[in-house]
Structure 1
Amino acid sequence: MRGFTQRCLLLKLLFINKGICCGCPSPKVAGHGCFGVRLMLDPKFVGEAMSVIAANTNVPVSVKCRIGVDDHDSYNELCDFIYKVSSLSPTRHFIIHSRKALLNGISPADNRRIPPLKYEFYYALLRDFPDLTFTINGGINSVVEANAALREGAHGVMVGRAAYHYPWQTLGHVDTAIYGAPSSGITRREILQRYQEYGDSVLGKDGNNRPNIREVAKPLLNLFYSEPGNGLWKRKADSAFMHCKTMKSFFEETLVAIPDSVLDAPIAGGVPSGREDLFANVHDFLPPQYQAREEEALYA
């Protein structure tokens, strides 16, 4: 009964999120038997769940996954997962974290760096499932690297922690570098002025004082990474979270820590990564083409 209850809870969460994350290796998630990356071991359930989710929403649904779990890490096993989920549901978009997960003995942080990246698995999926869309994820930390992946044929690129930890350096110039838009010359002060309007419009919107100041301001805390005043800004923010009720008052109390020269400096362009050839030879290592075994794949 415990497994049934867990799956009912999972389906309830999935209706909210319009998709499934089959990539989290945390013991708090995957350790419960039917969440996170363990779902990759039950693609039939994932496909059926995605079918139900898709039937109850009017937006596209997607699945985020790793390339394998523990010893279930062959390219054919990854393809079986993709084939089953896409055959049993309307799912046409997969976000692929291009390393497997190890469930026993290492932390979630180690799971983001110890299992080796196998970008060749991602590019082989593009070859073997031409009717699906795949976004690449894992180990891509700059716009330079994202552009390198796109040049090699990636449908899309997901940049995770780099965008959170270094938002100005990673995303400040993304419209120009990726999409070719004219440089806006926007400054961090201008961004914060716009964010203040947004933040004050959503604070306490649900009637229960949620979201609160801490939740709304949290995405901004690394905006001044490596800049003068960054440490003082964070200390002032921790204090302001305790009593500020508006984003306006939060900024008035905290931004005095940041010099005007930082606040008013325009976007200076990307920080070179030195890994422009990250994907240059990946096509030389593609695994053999996948041949779907339909009956076995769908009903196993």
Structure 2
Amino acid sequence: MSVKSGSKPLKSRDTVNRRFSIAPMMEWTTSEFRVLARCLSKDTLLYTEMVTTGALLQGKDPERFLRYEECEHPIALQLGGADAKALAKCAKMAEQYGYDEVNLNAGCPSDRVQNNMIGAILMAHVDTVKDAMKAMQDATSLPVTIKHRIGLDDQQDYAVVRDFVGDVASTGVTTFIVHARNAILQGLSPKENREIPPLKYHYVHQLKQDFPDLEIILNGGIKTLEETQAQLTKLDGVMVGREAYNNPWLLAEVDSRLFGHQNPVSNRFEALENYLPYVESQLNKGARLSHITRHLLGMFVGLPGGKQFRRHLSENGHHAHATIDVLIDAIEGVKQQLSKTKG
């Protein structure tokens, strides 16, 4: 698996299928997890963690945030920032690195990013968002999309998100990924912001009715493919977050059930067997095993041997010189446990 850099990306909204995607999640949707996801689903659209414009334009090693594996396509780069010129430069970088889409984060409620006008706070500054989206579209031929909330703090009226989408759409943006909760900017942690504000799926459904020509993607609270299929009767796509990370086997039927394609693997062991060459290549480059295997801990959730799998990796994988044998032994342990259960 080679690092993707500068290849030809997909070019239009029509060629980026957003029917099902995995949400950008800080410290979770790293390349290590995205490669695992790709072993389970070839059709799912993958998003990077949010990368700030400062990290790309002022950091010493921007490539650290931009590199990814060939197999990760289709893949979108999510940007955090507010300055139109900086975002335009980063959008151009996304195209140069061969990404298939560039997305603006207007939904993160973290205190750390608010002070830099990053994330959900942007919903209170629609003109800033419009300037940014115009500049990004002018800078790249990639699809430029936005991920946002339905409102801020105590804003309860549907008109808030309706007007925001209408204003931003006037710039030419056609894809809106809507987390169907308010963002509470003061008093709730990011985790609480994913759980406490009530979900209002009907607001997102209404957006699709009011803007039938726009691509409206739902994010927030979806945990099963059955729920996904139900939402797809009303919307253009569904974005799943933590459930896909905590239980990655969820992805194994996405291709057949949502895209009408053959699933790439038939069981968890086959998926991990396909993942092992990537693990070995990363270890050969100096990566620590625990930095990779932390993304695998949910692979056997709910199955006999699943707890032992997690324990073995946690207890043996953190050593600086841990080898791929630790992972292989953990997998073999699950096989043995399952064999005993069947017997």
1:135 is paired with a residue of what secondary structure? strand
Deviation at 1:158, TM superposition (A): 0.7
1:28 is paired with a residue of what secondary structure? helix
For residue 231 of structure 1, the aligned residue among 292, 296, 307 is 307
Change (3 A) 1:135 1:253: same
**Map of 1:276 onto structure 2:** none
Deviation at 1:204, TM superposition (A): 6.4
**Map of 1:176 onto structure 2:** 256
Deviation at 1:235, TM superposition (A): 2.6
1:214 and 1:204 mapped to 2: Cα distance? 14
Asked whether the 8 Å contact 2:306–2:334 carries over to 1, the reply is: yes
Change (3 A) 1:21 1:197: same
For residue 182 of structure 2, the aligned residue among 100, 104, 125 is 100
Change (3 A) 1:200 1:57: farther
1:46 and 1:136 mapped to 2: Cα distance? 20
- CA offset digits 1:10-62 (Å, max 9, x no partner): 738954672211111122223x2511111111111112112222333332121
- Map of 1:163-242 to 2, 5 A cutoff? 163-168=244-249, 170-181=250-261, 186-202=266-282, 209=286, 212-238=288-314, 239-242=316-319
User: How many matched pairs?
Assistant: 251
TM-score of the aligned structures, taking structure 1 as reference length: 0.73
1:227 and 1:191 mapped to 2: Cα distance? 16
**Map of 1:28 onto structure 2:** 112
- CA offset digits 1:256-282 (Å, max 9, x no partner): 33134649x9xxxxxxxxxxxxxxxxx
- Map of 1:6-21 to 2, 5 A cutoff? 7=82, 11=87, 15=91, 18-21=102-105
Asked whether the 8 Å contact 1:228–1:259 carries over to 2, the reply is: no
After superposition, the CA RMSD in angstroms is 2.9
Structure 2: any 5+ residue segments left out of the alignment?
A: 1-57, 59-80, 95-101
2:307 and 2:263 mapped to 1: Cα distance? 29
Asked whether the 8 Å contact 2:149–2:181 carries over to 1, the reply is: yes
Change (3 A) 1:14 1:217: farther
For residue 74 of structure 1, the aligned residue among 142, 157, 160 is 157
For residue 241 of structure 2, the aligned residue among 156, 160, 174 is 160
Asked whether the 8 Å contact 2:123–2:164 carries over to 1, the reply is: yes
Asked whether the 8 Å contact 1:176–1:182 carries over to 2, the reply is: yes
- 1:48 maps onto 2:128 in alignment: no
**Map of 2:327 onto structure 1:** 251
**Map of 1:60 onto structure 2:** 143
2:232 is paired with a residue of what secondary structure? helix
Deviation at 1:126, TM superposition (A): 0.8
Structure 1: any 5+ residue segments left out of the alignment?
A: 266-300
1:20 is paired with a residue of what secondary structure? strand
- CA offset digits 1:171-197 (Å, max 9, x no partner): 222222223345676111111111112
- 1:114 maps onto 2:191 in alignment: no
Higher share in strand: 2
For residue 83 of structure 1, the aligned residue among 134, 159, 166 is 166
2:320 and 2:239 mapped to 1: Cα distance? 36
2:167 and 2:326 mapped to 1: Cα distance? 49
Asked whether the 8 Å contact 1:233–1:257 carries over to 2, the reply is: yes
TM-score of the aligned structures, taking structure 2 as reference length: 0.65
- CA offset digits 1:189-244 (Å, max 9, x no partner): 11111111233345566xxx4x5433433332210112222222223223223235
1:14 and 1:77 mapped to 2: Cα distance? 29
Asked whether the 8 Å contact 1:25–1:102 carries over to 2, the reply is: yes
Asked whether the 8 Å contact 1:10–1:35 carries over to 2, the reply is: no
Asked whether the 8 Å contact 1:96–1:135 carries over to 2, the reply is: yes
Deviation at 1:245, TM superposition (A): 6.3
AA partner of residue 60 (structure 1): P
